[in-house]
Amino acid sequence: MKSCLTLLSLLFIFGSQHVDKLTEACSCALSHPQDAYCNSDIVIRAKVVGKKPLKDGPFGTMRYTVKQMKMYKGFNKIQHVQHIYTDASESLCGVKFDINKYQYLITGRVYDGKVYTGLCNFNERWERLSLAQKKGINHRYQLGCNCRIKPCHYLPCFVTSKNECLWTDMLSHFGYPGYQSRHYACIQQKEGYCSWYRGMTSRDKTTINTTDP
């Protein structure tokens, strides 16, 4: 009897550890919003108006119906987004959206004509974005897609090429997202050099609407 209890205890512990590993299976590298924009096929602002679970694959897929407010990137992929697909399980990086509550910035990739997103993509309630992030999504970020944002986790850090911007938010005690993520874009300047940019320049004034994008 004692051996049976011991076996059951071990199975319980193993099962608990297995569940913990399953729920913690989704792991994403930190990404500056500009990188998220540049690496996405689709970038839109939309309100999520419905959802439907689909029996696709072993764990299922959630299909969200969206009302697209504005498309910032992806015109060559899809003219108008009506549905967003994501894994049904958060442990597999599936993302959850509130229905009929908020407008979201949604980024994702296109496969077989469908838009897929997840926890490792940049999805955020529109109201929580800084003004600089909104302007970046509207125009600035695309000016820096040929630049490389280089994360700095430990000092010392150095840029190794002219097209790099050193991203130091991870060194801050305030955590991510940090000041550079919320207020700066890495923009390509003259002769291919890239540098952090904030504020309005004469070039911006003619290309960026100063109102909320």
Known binding site for Zn(2+): residues?
26
Q: How far apart are CA 192 and CA 198, in angstroms?
A: 18
Encoding tokens for residue 28?
């994403």
The CA-CA-CA angle for residues 210, 187, 195, to 5°, reads 120
Residues of the binding site: 26
Q: How far is CA 99 from CA 46, 122, 148, in A?
A: 11, 18, 36
The CA-CA-CA angle for residues 168, 173, 176, to 5°, reads 60
The amino acid at 154: Y
In the chain, what is the straight-line distance between the N-terminal and C-terminal CA atoms, in Å? 69
Q: With H, G, I as helix, E, B as strand and everything else as coil, classify residue 90.
A: helix
